[in-house]
């Protein structure tokens, strides 16, 4: 091709055991397009796996610096992200002056064989009961690249040894730093790709015996420090979302003022799912215009909005007043348009299953945005769109089976199998400031501090352990016993029992059968079947949840260093406990109102009256509100999801209308979640004041 410019190629990758990051940079210059090629070099029939392909537009400074960065630094700076992602649940962890956890979190290794045991006297005193040489106790701790660490003990047992191994982000071995030593102090400097240190205490080449290790200290710097127990500080922003536009010129900000934390929101992100009032606008061969009803969006839209499809594809933006010319296009209508604050989206026949001559109802459009595809059921594969002939059916958009399972009535629930709704993100005409709940507080000790800044912190996820009979213990996040968290866990920070940290739980990083990299264990004697358990952990698959924090700024007063260390630590601990209690109280008292999908002709009464919604408070009580009209008496109005349903059918009195006259009505709520208006009038009827305990 004449005039084609070729960018640099990357070295061939030959590893058969792990994915290896390859990167190339290219200055586009006068080019208007870019082609990325990925190939396999070898004989016919050979193949390669390729994962996490990403393409970033970067600044000139980043372009200049990228050659001096390690592959791990590049992967962290420009991570793989699937679809439109914001920063989710950012956090800051200040590791303790001593980076080593108590011995209750350590493991024992058999070396070349045998069956050593580990006996913990107290949190920082352990006995290695060895039956041969080459046995040890060890723990993995997070480490920073190109940093100096010092390991020390006040004394060593006879024939006791200490040592390090280091690993990269994929737990691939990097260095042993000269092996074991009988010295009381060992100082090392990590390589640029190091992310973990394995600290090892053992008997090296000496034989059976009891080896006692106590009060170990691992600190930053070249000098050993006196022993202190681990005392980490943390600052979590649970359920906080921070957004930016594509080029990063407009973004949300977190800041602190007067002892409280606030979010300055410049953008709004919302799910475009089946709870919204959709309608058709126009039909074209192969696709239809679908409209989100006027003024449903909470703020006037600036010309910055983008829509991401269920598969992550960003829809093509077209100007207002321009008719569409293909599928997967969008137009956002601002307050100057005749239909202000609306969204129009083109949906293809292949995605929706709506034939060209078929005009879907609002309920059928809602079903699509909940992840359901319509079809003509005479074709068992579901590939034939419904075109006003035959029998219509619905199946999950994500169902890839040759013969999917059809639903015979319009689905009102969200589809399964990993369905993700469309998303809309747009810039607010006027930024808003809102107070946010936080957990924890940060103080710094004198000298170097190891601080981790990240995202994807899952805070207080409800969880239950399952029993593993052979050792009479319950396990959290263990695949073998079926107790997985919602997301794979990289690091479990705490397991909570009835809202308080359960000190009897053993956290197990790097454990076998973990769902991700970490699991936890509690003995049957310490497990309370009546208690409510929850977990706070850092998700392993960040790309599925969040994009990366790109920068953070912080300040502290120099005179804080003059405060007595114990007083500062105690104050931080108190602040942490208070913030946790405040956060739990806020979580209990503040729920989220949910708008259900109305069926069988029932409509919002509108005209200034409250819309139909439901909520569950922190005590498990469901509340209903709203005014409806014009539906079929006795038919289902909407269905409450699991977790919002009574154990048995409940009957409530309400006010309704027939022919302009008010009369008593009856509302039935069944154990399967169906809400029905069974007696009274359909001119209107109210759900106001209906409450019940959610028991299933």
User: 424 exposed, middle or buried (CB, 10 Å; 0-12, 13-18, 19+)?
Assistant: buried
What's the gap between Cα 547 and its chain centre? 10
- Tokens (6 digits) for 399: 């169902």
In terms of domains, do 272 and 419 share one?
Answer: yes
Residue 591 has pLDDT above 90, yes or no: no
* Max CA distance (Å), the chain: 95
pLDDT of residue 578: 41
Q: What is the mean pLDDT of residues 519-530?
A: 92
In terms of domains, do 406 and 465 share one?
Answer: no
pLDDT of residue 564: 40
Per the domain annotation, does 546 fall within a domain? no
Per the domain annotation, does 585 fall within a domain? no
Per-residue 3-state assignment (H helix, E strand, C coil) for 425-480: EEEEEEEEEEECCCEEECCCCCCCCCEEEECCEEEEEEECCEEEHHHCEEEECEHH
pLDDT digits 0-9 by tens, 628-671:
988 888 888 988 888 889 989 999 999 998 877 888 899 999 98
**Phi then psi dihedrals of residue 670, to 5 deg:** -90, 170
In terms of domains, do 167 and 122 share one?
Answer: yes
In terms of domains, do 301 and 352 share one?
Answer: yes
- Distance, in Å, from the CA atom of 627 to the CA atom of 214, rounded to the nearest integer, reads 68
In terms of domains, do 270 and 361 share one?
Answer: yes
Per the domain annotation, does 582 fall within a domain? no
CB atoms under 10 Å from CB of 522, counted, come to 20
**572/54: higher pLDDT:** 54
In terms of domains, do 537 and 464 share one?
Answer: yes
Q: Count of alpha carbons within 13 Å of 345, Cβ hemisphere only?
A: 28
Residues 6+ apart with CB under 8 A from 505: 476, 495, 497, 520, 521, 522, 526
| Chain position carrying tokens 């410049």 | 266
**Phi then psi dihedrals of residue 686, to 5 deg:** -110, 140
CB atoms under 10 Å from CB of 359, counted, come to 12
**583/668: higher pLDDT:** 668
Q: Are 594 and 615 in contact, with CB atoms under 8 Å apart?
A: yes
Helix ranges restricted to H, 301-436? 349-352, 362-369
Per the domain annotation, does 259 fall within a domain? no
Q: What is the mean pLDDT of residues 597-604?
A: 83
Per the domain annotation, does 152 fall within a domain? yes
Q: How many residues does the chain have?
A: 696
- Tokens (6 digits) for 419: 């369905």
* Beta strands 278-284; 253-257: pairing state: unpaired
User: 17 exposed, middle or buried (CB, 10 Å; 0-12, 13-18, 19+)?
Assistant: exposed
- Distance, in Å, from the CA atom of 498 to the CA atom of 519, rounded to the nearest integer, reads 19
Strand runs labelled E in 41-160? 87-88, 91-94, 107-109, 117-122, 125-130, 136-142, 148-152
- Distance, in Å, from the CA atom of 174 to the CA atom of 382, rounded to the nearest integer, reads 52
pLDDT of residue 334: 56
In the DSSP assignment, the letter for residue 566 is H
CB atoms under 10 Å from CB of 578, counted, come to 11
- Distance, in Å, from the CA atom of 292 to the CA atom of 284, rounded to the nearest integer, reads 18
In terms of domains, do 107 and 68 share one?
Answer: no
**671/31: higher pLDDT:** 671
Per the domain annotation, does 421 fall within a domain? yes
Per-residue 3-state assignment (H helix, E strand, C coil) for 165-223: EEECCCCCEEECCCCCECCCEEEEECCCCCCEEEEEEECCCCCCEEEEEECCEEEECCC
- Tokens (6 digits) for 429: 């005409």
Q: Compute the chain's Rg from CA coordinates.
A: 30
What's the gap between Cα 54 and its chain centre? 20
Helix, strand, coil % in the chain, rounded to nearest 5:
10, 35, 55
Residue 535 has pLDDT above 70, yes or no: yes
pLDDT digits 0-9 by tens, 178-218:
999 999 999 999 998 898 999 999 987 778 899 999 999 99
CB atoms under 10 Å from CB of 562, counted, come to 8
pLDDT digits 0-9 by tens, 474-496:
999 999 999 999 889 988 988 99
pLDDT digits 0-9 by tens, 549-579:
655 555 554 444 443 444 344 444 444 434 4
Q: Which residues does residue 538 pair with via DSSP β-bridges, in sequence order?
A: 457, 491
**Domain count across the chain:** 5
Per the domain annotation, does 85 fall within a domain? no
- Distance, in Å, from the CA atom of 164 to the CA atom of 176, rounded to the nearest integer, reads 6
Q: Are 321 and 311 in contact, with CB atoms under 8 Å apart?
A: no
Least confident range from 225-229, 341-345, 492-496, 565-569: namely 565-569
Per the domain annotation, does 243 fall within a domain? no
pLDDT of residue 411: 94
The pLDDT mean for the chain works out to 83
In terms of domains, do 283 and 322 share one?
Answer: yes
Question: CATH number of the domain that 615 lies in?
Answer: 2.60.40
Most confident of 54-58, 248-252, 620-624: 620-624
Question: CATH number of the domain that 150 lies in?
Answer: 2.60.120.260
Percent of the chain beyond pLDDT 90? Answer: 34
In terms of domains, do 111 and 74 share one?
Answer: no
In terms of domains, do 325 and 373 share one?
Answer: yes
**674/69: higher pLDDT:** 674
pLDDT digits 0-9 by tens, 268-292:
888 899 988 898 888 899 999 998 8
Most confident of 169-173, 186-190, 674-678: 186-190
In terms of domains, do 72 and 1 share one?
Answer: yes
Closest-CA residue to 568 (of 452, 446, 449): 446
Local confidence band at 30 (pLDDT 50, 70, 90 cut-offs): low
Q: Which residues does residue 162 pair with via DSSP β-bridges, in sequence order?
A: 181, 201
In terms of domains, do 399 and 269 share one?
Answer: yes
- Distance, in Å, from the CA atom of 366 to the CA atom of 232, rounded to the nearest integer, reads 47
Residues 6+ apart with CB under 8 A from 26: 7, 8, 34
Residue 388 has pLDDT above 90, yes or no: yes
Range of the domain at 138: 103-229
pLDDT of residue 116: 83
pLDDT of residue 189: 96
């Amino acid at each position: 091709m004449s005039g084609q410019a070729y960018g640099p190629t990357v070295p061939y990758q030959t590893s058969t055991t792990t994915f290896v990051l390859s990167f190339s940079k290219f200055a586009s210059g006068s080019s208007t397009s870019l082609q990325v090629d990925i190939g396999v070099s070898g004989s016919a029939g050979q193949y390669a796996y390729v994962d996490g392909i990403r393409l970033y537009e970067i600044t000139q400074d980043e372009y200049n610096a990228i050659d001096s960065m390690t592959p791990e630094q590049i992967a962290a700076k420009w991570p793989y992200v699937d679809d439109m992602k914001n920063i989710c649940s950012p956090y800051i962890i200040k590791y303790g002056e001593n980076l080593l956890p108590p011995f209750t979190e350590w493991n024992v290794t058999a070396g070349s064989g045998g069956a050593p045991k580990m006996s913990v006297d107290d949190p920082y005193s352990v006995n290695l009961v060895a039956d041969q040489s080459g046995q040890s106790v060890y723990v993995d701790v997070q480490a920073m690249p190109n940093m100096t660490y010092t390991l020390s003990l006040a004394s060593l047992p006879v024939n006791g040894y200490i040592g390090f191994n280091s690993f990269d982000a994929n737990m691939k071995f990097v260095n042993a730093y000269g092996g074991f030593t009988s010295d009381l102090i060992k100082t090392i400097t990590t390589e640029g790709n190091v992310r973990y240190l394995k600290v090892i205490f053992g008997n090296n080449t000496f034989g059976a015996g009891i080896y006692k290790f106590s009060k170990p200290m691992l600190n930053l710097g070249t000098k050993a420090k006196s022993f202190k127990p681990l005392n980490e500080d943390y600052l979590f922003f649970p359920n906080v979302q921070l957004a930016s536009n594509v080029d990063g010129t407009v973004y949300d900000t977190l800041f602190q003022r007067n002892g409280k934390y606030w979010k300055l929101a410049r953008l709004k992100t919302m799910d475009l799912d089946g709870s919204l009032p959709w309608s058709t606008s126009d039909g074209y061969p192969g696709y239809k215009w679908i409209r989100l009803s006027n003024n449903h969006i909470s703020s006037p839209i600036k010309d910055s909005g983008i829509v991401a499809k269920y598969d992550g594809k960003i829809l093509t933006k077209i100007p207002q007043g321009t008719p569409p010319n293909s599928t997967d296009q969008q137009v956002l209508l601002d307050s100057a348009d005749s239909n202000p604050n609306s969204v129009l989206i083109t949906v293809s026949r292949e995605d929706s299953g709506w034939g060209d001559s078929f005009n879907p109802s609002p309920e059928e459009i809602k079903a699509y945005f909940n992840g359901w595809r319509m079809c003509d059921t005479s074709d068992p594969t579901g590939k034939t769109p419904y075109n006003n002939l035959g029998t219509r059916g619905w199946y999950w958009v994500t169902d890839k089976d040759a013969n999917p399972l059809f639903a015979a009535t319009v689905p009102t629930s969200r589809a399964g199998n990993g369905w993700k709704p469309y998303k809309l993100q747009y810039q607010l005409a006027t930024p808003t400031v809102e107070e946010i709940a936080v957990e924890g507080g940060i103080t710094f000790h004198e000298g170097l501090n190891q601080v981790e800044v990240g995202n994807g912190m899952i805070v207080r996820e409800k969880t239950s352990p399952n029993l593993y009979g052979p050792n009479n213990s319950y396990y959290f996040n263990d695949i073998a016993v079926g107790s997985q968290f919602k997301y794979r866990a990289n690091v479990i920070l705490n397991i909570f029992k009835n809202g308080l940290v359960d000190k009897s739980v053993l956290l197990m990083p790097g454990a076998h059968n973990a769902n991700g990299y970490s699991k936890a264990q509690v003995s049957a004697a310490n497990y309370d079947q009546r208690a409510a358990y929850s977990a706070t952990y850092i998700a392993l698959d960040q790309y599925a949840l969040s994009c990366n924090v790109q920068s953070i700024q912080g300040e502290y007063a120099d005179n804080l260093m003059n405060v007595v260390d114990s007083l500062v630590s105690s104050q931080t601990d108190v602040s942490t406990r208070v913030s946790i209690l405040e956060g739990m109280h806020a979580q209990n008292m503040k729920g989220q109102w949910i708008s259900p999908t109305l069926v069988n002709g029932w409509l919002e009464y509108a005209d200034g009256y409250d819309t139909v919604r439901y909520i569950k408070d922190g005590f498990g009580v469901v509340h209903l509100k709203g005014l409806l009209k014009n539906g079929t008496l006795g038919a289902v109005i909407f269905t409450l999801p699991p977790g919002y349903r009574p154990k048995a059918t409940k009957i409530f009195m309400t006010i309704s209308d027939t022919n302009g006259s008010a009369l008593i009505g009856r509302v039935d709520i069944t154990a399967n979640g169906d809400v029905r208006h069974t007696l009274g009038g359909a001119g209107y009827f109210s759900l106001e004041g209906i409450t019940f305990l959610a028991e299933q």
